[in-house]
Structure formats: C-alpha cells, structure tokens
Structure 1
Amino acid sequence: MKKKKAIGYILSSGILAASLGFGATASFAESTTTPNGPWVQDQQYLSFESLMSNEQLEAKLKQIEQSSKGKMKLEQFGTSNDGYPLYVAKLGDNNPAKKRVLVYTQIHGNEPLGTEAAVELIQKLSAGGKEADSILDKVNVWFVPRINPDGTANQYEGKPFPVRYSHQTWNPEEIGLPADTKAPWYYNAEGSERAQNNNGKVVYGIPGFDLNRDFNPNYDFNINDEIKKDPQKVANLLNNNNTNNGSQASFVFSPETRALTKIVKEFDPDVAIDLHHRGFNQLSEDDNRSVSIQLLALFTTKTYVDPFSGKVYKVDPNVETFSKKVNAVAYESLQRGNSSYGAIQKYPQVNYPGSGLGAIQLNGTATMLIEIKGQTQTLGQKQNGMLKETAKVPVMAVLNGLADGSIENADPAVYDAIPDYSLPVNPGGNK
C-alpha cells in the first residue's frame, strides 16, 4: 500500500448564517427566528425550483468552462444507468509535485446541496483572484458534481421526488450468475424512499443501489472477470450473509461507481471530498443547539481481506492521523461564537470498506466525512444559501491549509475532542 498524506471529505447539507467571501473572516450569529420551523411540515409543499436539474447542471458547468479562459477543463468520464453524462471539472496544471484534491458530490440523489456548493466552488476557483490563484498554484482540484443523476431526477406521480438510490435492476442471469443469486445487501428492490418529514415511505417503484456502498479498495476489480472465472464463487459470496454485508467491500456493479473508481485511479488524489446530507441532532442534553455538521475521520476500523486476490487492506496510521488533522481544520473553520454553526458532533463510527471514502482511504488517502443536516424530504430547498456556505467554508479552509502548508500543524486532538453523535431529532415526530 502506498503511504501518502491525503484527505477525503464527505459533505452533506448544513447551515451557515451568512454568505461569506472566501477570503473573509467568518462571523456567525444565532438566528432569532425560524420561519416555518427548521424543517418542512408534513403537508407543506416541497419546492425544488432553486436546485439544479441534470440539464441545468450540465449547462452551468459548460458555461463556467467557457468563461474560465482555460482554467477549468470539463470532461465527460462516464454515463449513468439512465444515460445521463457524468462530468469532471479539472482545475490546475496536473503538476505531480502539487497536492491533488478530488471533490465528488450527490452520490445520494436526495442530497443536492453538496452539488450546489461544489459548482460555486468551481466558479470561484475558475474565476481567479488572489485566493483562488494561491490555491491552484499549489493544489490541483478535480470536481465530480453529482454522481447519482438518476436518483436526482427521480419522480413520483409526475412530480420531482429525489431519492437516495440509483436506478438499476438486479438481474443475476444477465451477468452470468444463477437466477436465484441474492442481490447485494444495499439493493433497494422495491424502489422506496422515506416520505416527507420521514413519516413512512413512498414506493416509487424503480429499483436501485445505494451507490455509496458499491465500491472496492481494489481499483482494478472487475466483477465480470470474476464471474467468468468462477460464477459459483461469486454467487456463494452473495448468498452468504457473512460475506454480503456492510463490513465487506462490494462488487462495483453500478456504472456510476465504476466510472468514479477510474477517476480516482487516474488522478491518485491526496484529497477526496464527498458531499452528503444527514438527519437532525441536538448537540447535548445541556446545549439544545441543532447540530450543523457531523465529522468522521475513519471509515474502516478493521483489516479487510479481498476474497478474490487475498490482498490485505488496512488504514495506515499516518493516514489516520492526517485525516484527524483535516477534520480538525474543518471543525475550527466553523467555530465562531456560540451559533448553531459551531454545534458539531462526530458521525457514528462505521466500518465500510465498500463505501467511497472507505475504499479510497484503504489505498493511502486520508479521509473526512462532513455530514450537514437535512435532506430533500425534510428540507426541500429551505435555507439553501446558508447550507451551501456551511459546506464551502470547511472545504476552502482545507484547500488553503494544503496550499500554505498550515494543515500540517493542525492538532489531531481537536478532532478527538469533538462530541460523539447523540440525541437524534425526528422532524416528523414518529418513532
């Protein structure tokens, strides 16, 4: 395994009080009112008009490329199962001496604000200026906005209904496996998603995968090759609950995850940033502030052995330490006064070698999860401007820290001291 200093991010949807200039000092103040409450009501109309459709995203990226005067290069690197193009926006000159940052977003279709924030970051860095130029002088950055366009464009009863999952049907015979072979554990066979405010569920009827469980630390893994060699071995692994679960790497069945894996292998990033959303939490029994983001530095806690090659994967201690430094930088970037934006917890510890950052971290890249509160079924487009800023501030802090080298001086103990996940709040009130 290579040993290198690197970072990965997952960002969700959080809150920031005011739009910040990238070079400005953040100043936060607790809001005194919460019009219509912090989340949508059960019968409230869910509005998504301010969120970019797949077509609008494509047009915006092309417009930024055209106006960037060569600073940003846009390339299609793959296609979703439904036929939507997957794009990577490349910034920098690919000087191998520079740090390399990969930012990818919206692997879950109902988590859109990471994409919205990433596009604004692309525009900022493409436009130039003192801060942008100082970053790109030392760091190459690739953005992959929206890995799950199918889930993003999902509809129910003729209306937009973004969902977590991709659109893809499990058909084992089609890929050379016995007809009774079980689907991967992260397959959503009925095509369902949590209903508004998480009250029950909606069956929209299109099967799909949780793409953030469909990765493998072996970047060269090809399920079709393994099926050709020994289809019964593959079937046995899928049919056994001890080997078909979240503690195991996946078989990379989806075109979206295969495409992203190729990008990761090509770019060999020092930094991988994945932007997500999560639910709602209260900071503590003594502090009723709503948690704005949750952070996590480690995505696998156990050694993983590839059942096909026998290769052993484990997180390098130096990578874990550097991951904590990156998390510390993000944490401190939002600590301004006693606002909700500094109300931060650790995300629950996971062991997911089949997640995007889990697989990447096992290849020597330090990782960081930023989970910012709210999803489309609980927020619609409420607080979009503030939520985007909450994502952008820590990302820019990390980019600046990499560019000027200050991230090396971050204290991993700051991350260790972040309060653990606790006190989830259900917006719908159901148990």
Structure 2
Amino acid sequence: MKKRKALGYVLTGGILAATFGYGAASVFAEPVTTPNGPWVQDEQNLSLAGLMSNEQLEAKLKQIEKSSQGKMKLEQIGTSNDGYPLYVAKLGDNAPNKKRVLVYTQIHGNETLGTEAAVDLMQKLSAGGKEAKNILDNVTVWFVPRINPDGTANQYNGKQYPTRYSHQTWDPAALGLPAGTKAPWYYNAEGSERAQNNNGAVVYGIPGFDLNRDFNPNYDFNVNEEIKRNPEKVAAVLNDSKTNNGAQAALVFSPETRALTKVVKEFKPDVAIDLHHRGFNQLSEEDKRSVSIQLLALFTTKPFTDPFSGKVYKVDPEVETLSKKVNAVAYESLQRGNSSFGAIQKYPQVNYPGSGLGAIQLNGTATMLIEIKGQTQTLGQKQNGMLIETAKVPVMAVLNGLADGSIEKADPAVYDAIPDFSHPVNPGGNQGN
C-alpha cells in the first residue's frame, strides 16, 4: 500500500462528538490453568505472522473486487492521518426494498481479528453460491475494514506493535482554538499514563486519539465551521470537565472517524455491526470455559443533548427491540457446533453516545457489538484462526436472518438472558472496546 501524504492536524471537516471511556488496553493475561484457553503467560508477546499488513489488506481488497465479477465494489472513503487509504467494500445493489447492513472493524489498531473475519466474509459473499445469492438478493452489505491503519502499523523499539490509538497530535492553535485549550479526554498524549499499558511496561510512543470515542449523533456538525463561528464556545466545551468526559461531549478531530460517519450518513444502515477485542473471562464459577465472544445490543441508556444545537437524541424503542433480536440470533448461532466456543457473555452495559455504535443507534440503526477474546499478541496462530471462524458465525446468522425475514421472529428475551459479564481472568487487563 503506497502511503499518501499525511493530512496534518488542521481539519477539513468534522462533527461534534459525545465521548466515553473504556478500560486501558492491555495485551497480557495472567496465567490460569483451565480448559479451553489459552490463558497466555504474563509478558508473552506472540507473533503477528499470518495477519494482514495495511499493504496486504489493500491488495486483498482489490483482488476480491476484481474476482467478484461485479458483485463487490471497492471505494476509497478517506485517508488516515498517516496517509493510508480507507475503504468501503459494497456488496449488493442497495435497492430501496432491501435491508442494509454495515460491518466495520479495527477502529482500535491492535484489535485485528475482526478485519480478518470481515475479509473472509467479503470473499464468501462475492464468490456466489446459493447462500450468498439469497443474502445479496435481499440484503445490501457494506464493509469498512480496518478504520485505524495507523495504529495497526505502529512501531515500538523498531518492531511492529499495533496500538489502540490513531496517530494525530493535538494542536489547538493550528485548529484556530485558544492556546492551552484542553485536548479531548480520549487523547493519548505521548508519555502520559494513557500512553502506557496498565503496568507501565509498554510505552506506545505516539500521540493520537481513541477513535471509538470520536463520534456524535449530529452527523452534520462541522468542527472547523463551528471554530470559525465561535472558537470560545468550542474551547469552553473542551475546558469544562462536565462536558469533556465520557458521557458528554467533545469534538471530532480524526479523519478516520469523519470518513466512517460519511459512510453511515450515506448508507443509512438498518443494522450496524462492530468487531472488537476484549480481555479474558470464564463463563461462570461452575462453567470454566473461556468466553470466546461478548455481545452488546444497547449503547446509550440516557438521552443525549448536543451542547451546540441543543437537539436531544434517544434510542427509539423499535431500534432497541431490533438490536436485541439481532444479538439474540447471534447468540443462538454460537450455541451450535463447537460447544467450546458457545461460551458467550453479555458485554457490560454502557452509556456511550460518542461511540461509533452509540451515535449510529441514536440515529435509528439497530446495533451489535462483537467482542472477541484477547488481543492478537496474546494468542497463537491456531487460536487466532479459530476465533476468526467463530466471529464470522454470528455475522452470517444475522445476514441470513435479515434475508429470509426470520430475524423478526427472534425473541428479544433471549438476549436479555445472555449471561452477564463476569469472572475476568485478568481484572486489570483490557475489558473494554
């Protein structure tokens, strides 16, 4: 992948974001001897071999488009801060009578397996066959793989070390804001506590944003225009701890987030699916299986008020119900086949209007978060392969359920009954997306 010229830090457009916080990322788990691991030894950093680099991903996407015989259309939707192109892969003709599904991955650069799963799904749908034809006859599917290529390609001590964050320096003066204006709370300043993992062993060495904090339900908000009109107002929002925090508001500064928002605004998906990684859990005190996936249907539990427009956003009850049905179908699909990967929990309930799925859901789209266990560095190639296969199952189940209409018959109570988050193996590790 030929890197394009970096965009720098002066924005060309944007939207206001409500923001939120998850736990700091950690790639290590404490050793535990239980079935259905692996529980990786402390400080063990396994090979990233077999996972696609940014260059390999771009080449693969173009190869799939070429071999799809017109079934998949690849479009560039933007450029990352470091100059990597961002893509959407479109499958289906987006006819008005079809359901629309958006799948996006790797908004955190060190959460890689969702991208591998998405590429496999693109290949499956574009290759044809009875199942793929039935889906694409009834559903349009867009994929945005690897939203954070900069974090994916991050280097530490001369070696590849994917990180959660993007690469972008906070420079208020360049943005037209008063000198000393505080950065968004989710900014990862070089050398700060946020720039290290929880035991201080790894300094990522780069400034940047946690991109999954950089969204807002107000898709039309343009941060540059707002700064031109009223820089003092923007600075006041950022300088006030009551508004610059996880459940309130900050400004969208990342080109990656703006690119995804543009796609969502154009596509207006009925369902959006976001693939992440988390830490390690066992299912329960009695059932000591390692939880392979956690699911979450609802991302805001309170109304959100845009501090600039004053507009109030809240989740439509029908959207909440469909979200639960989607996740119920996903859960039941993982109870079949390999029982060791049927150990599923519910992700802890959150109130995050500034997450990707939070903002999308507040605009009328049903949502599903898929949290795959572990970070890539903590898992061997065999385990990575098994988890990639596992992550594909719920996505295909949802696509099939939308295609044949059966998802409407799903019982939301199935989602409510999914076992809650419990029994983290390393409570200090990454338990959040």
The match for 1:273 is 273
The match for 1:261 is 261
Query: Counterparts of 2:40 and 2:286 in 1: how far apart (Å)?
Result: 26
Aligned residue type for 1:101: V
Aligned residue type for 2:268: D
SS in 2 for 1:322: helix
Q: Tell whether the 8 Å contact from 1:92 to 1:140 is kept in structure 2 after alignment.
A: yes
Which 4+ residue blocks in structure 1 deviate beyond 3 angstroms?
42-45, 191-195, 198-201, 427-430
Give the CA deviation at 1:136. 0.1
Alignment of 1:150-189 (within 5 A): 150-189=150-189
Alignment of 1:222-241 (within 5 A): 222-241=222-241
Q: Tell whether the 8 Å contact from 2:249 to 2:307 is kept in structure 1 after alignment.
A: no
Give the CA deviation at 1:262. 0.4
Check 1:381–1:233 CA distance in 2 against 1; reply closer, same or farther (3 A cut): farther
SS in 1 for 2:202: strand
The question of 1:389 aligning with 2:386 is answered no
The match for 1:66 is 66
Residue ranges of structure 1 left out of the alignment (5+ in a row)? 1-31
Give the CA deviation at 1:200. 3.6
Query: Counterparts of 2:274 and 2:365 in 1: how far apart (Å)?
Result: 13
SS in 2 for 1:245: coil
SS in 2 for 1:353: coil
Query: Counterparts of 1:132 and 1:66 in 2: how far apart (Å)?
Result: 17
Query: Counterparts of 1:381 and 1:193 in 2: how far apart (Å)?
Result: 27
The match for 2:21 is none
SS in 1 for 2:285: coil
The match for 1:333 is 333
Aligned residue type for 2:181: T
TM-score (norm 2): 0.88
Check 1:148–1:380 CA distance in 2 against 1; reply closer, same or farther (3 A cut): farther
Query: Counterparts of 1:358 and 1:380 in 2: how far apart (Å)?
Result: 32
Alignment of 1:414-429 (within 5 A): 414-426=414-426
Query: Counterparts of 1:428 and 1:184 in 2: how far apart (Å)?
Result: 24
Query: Counterparts of 1:57 and 1:116 in 2: how far apart (Å)?
Result: 9
Q: Tell whether the 8 Å contact from 1:271 to 1:367 is kept in structure 2 after alignment.
A: yes
Aligned-pair RMSD on alpha carbons? 1.9
Check 1:62–1:261 CA distance in 2 against 1; reply closer, same or farther (3 A cut): same
Aligned residue type for 2:232: Q
The match for 1:301 is 301
Query: Counterparts of 2:181 and 2:91 in 1: how far apart (Å)?
Result: 43
Aligned residue type for 1:384: N
1:296-328, CA deviations, whole angstroms, 9 ceiling, x for partnerless residues? 110000011111111110000111011100110
Query: Counterparts of 2:90 and 2:338 in 1: how far apart (Å)?
Result: 37
Give the CA deviation at 1:44. 4.0
Give the CA deviation at 1:201. 3.6
After superposing the two structures, state which structure 1 stretch, 114-123 or 379-388, moved more: 379-388
SS in 2 for 1:295: strand
Aligned residue type for 1:56: Q
Q: Tell whether the 8 Å contact from 2:163 to 2:204 is kept in structure 1 after alignment.
A: no
Q: How many residues align?
A: 395
Check 1:337–1:113 CA distance in 2 against 1; reply closer, same or farther (3 A cut): closer
Query: Counterparts of 2:159 and 2:63 in 1: how far apart (Å)?
Result: 28
Query: Counterparts of 2:221 and 2:329 in 1: how far apart (Å)?
Result: 34
Query: Counterparts of 2:420 and 2:269 in 1: how far apart (Å)?
Result: 29
The question of 1:89 aligning with 2:102 is answered no
Alignment of 1:3-14 (within 5 A): none
Q: Tell whether the 8 Å contact from 1:215 to 1:250 is kept in structure 2 after alignment.
A: no
The question of 1:353 aligning with 2:353 is answered yes
Give the CA deviation at 1:339. 2.7
The question of 1:104 aligning with 2:116 is answered no
Give the CA deviation at 1:289. 1.2
After superposing the two structures, state which structure 1 stretch, 408-417 or 39-48, moved more: 39-48
TM-score (norm 1): 0.88
Q: Tell whether the 8 Å contact from 1:42 to 1:428 is kept in structure 2 after alignment.
A: no
The match for 1:148 is 148
Give the CA deviation at 1:385. 1.2
Q: Tell whether the 8 Å contact from 2:272 to 2:367 is kept in structure 1 after alignment.
A: yes
The match for 2:48 is 48
Q: Tell whether the 8 Å contact from 1:163 to 1:193 is kept in structure 2 after alignment.
A: no
Give the CA deviation at 1:96. 1.3
Give the CA deviation at 1:250. 3.8
Give the CA deviation at 1:40. 3.5
Q: Tell whether the 8 Å contact from 2:35 to 2:289 is kept in structure 1 after alignment.
A: no
SS in 2 for 1:383: helix
SS in 2 for 1:367: strand
Alignment of 1:283-322 (within 5 A): 283-322=283-322
Query: Counterparts of 1:246 and 1:272 in 2: how far apart (Å)?
Result: 22
After superposing the two structures, state which structure 1 stretch, 82-91 or 247-256, moved more: 247-256
Check 1:221–1:201 CA distance in 2 against 1; reply closer, same or farther (3 A cut): farther
Aligned residue type for 1:38: P
Query: Counterparts of 2:338 and 2:45 in 1: how far apart (Å)?
Result: 32
SS in 1 for 2:295: strand
Query: Counterparts of 2:366 and 2:45 in 1: how far apart (Å)?
Result: 41
Check 1:313–1:43 CA distance in 2 against 1; reply closer, same or farther (3 A cut): closer
After superposing the two structures, state which structure 1 stretch, 249-258 or 84-93, moved more: 249-258
Aligned residue type for 2:90: K
Query: Counterparts of 1:337 and 1:392 in 2: how far apart (Å)?
Result: 13
Residue ranges of structure 2 left out of the alignment (5+ in a row)? 1-33
Query: Counterparts of 2:424 and 2:93 in 1: how far apart (Å)?
Result: 44
After superposing the two structures, state which structure 1 stretch, 240-249 or 118-127, moved more: 240-249
The match for 2:251 is 251
Aligned residue type for 1:78: G
Q: Tell whether the 8 Å contact from 1:105 to 1:146 is kept in structure 2 after alignment.
A: yes
Query: Counterparts of 2:63 and 2:132 in 1: how far apart (Å)?
Result: 19
Q: Tell whether the 8 Å contact from 1:330 to 1:395 is kept in structure 2 after alignment.
A: yes
SS in 1 for 2:162: coil
Query: Counterparts of 2:155 and 2:408 in 1: how far apart (Å)?
Result: 46
Q: Tell whether the 8 Å contact from 2:325 to 2:410 is kept in structure 1 after alignment.
A: yes
Query: Counterparts of 1:237 and 1:211 in 2: how far apart (Å)?
Result: 19
